[in-house]
Chains A and B, each alone.
Chain A
Amino acid sequence: DAGVIQSPRHEVTEMGQEVTLRCKPISGHNSLFWYRQTMMRGLELLIYFNNNVPIDDSGMPEDRFSAKMPNASFSTLKIQPSEPRDSAVYFCASSLGTSGRNEQFFGPGTRLTVL
């Protein structure tokens, strides 16, 4: 079975450019999460969706960040305009969203470098 798929795996861009990160959750999962990992701040939740609806975006750092989930099999995280401090590894994760253990399965991450 395919796990969570993220693209691109690596992205290098210049300050001010628009960046779009993509995620395909595990088929059948109805919750999707975007996290960011940096040395300084560790792993932070940015936003999550249940059944394609954004539930909590309080972790989105600024209005420059936006996320969408147009259908159950696809989500995007967009940064416009990008800044050097946005450099990080961005993880997408999905889960079944039912009661119980409900562990989150992480994608391989996108390593973003903003010059």
Chain B
Amino acid sequence: KNQVEQSPQSLIILEGKNCTLQCNYTVSPFSNLRWYKQDTGRGPVSLTIMTFSENTKSNGRYTATLDADTKQSSLHITASQLSDSASYICVVSAKLITAGSQGNLIFGKGTKLSVKP
């Protein structure tokens, strides 16, 4: 069964510190992996999209890594800011095999990050 597991479920860090969020998946065949940031009460906003051949991608203070062999990804946030407080959702996309496959985007439940002053 295609699944995306994220850890930790929640995380509290002090402003200025770094943190790393984890995503493990069992989606096959793999197409791409996305990280989204979702502020409370808002829609998810894309941070990165990574394909099989990419093992790292940065977007400002956010750096995502992908190990397609172990089926793991991480999102590293550097020098955290109060505005980084949000849920971070890992989404894995499967290659379309047949129709009726739930749109082929499998969402994790997210990691809720709180950055404290």
Same complex for A and B? Answer no
Partner-A contacts on B (CB < 8 A): none
Partner-B contacts on A (CB < 8 A): none
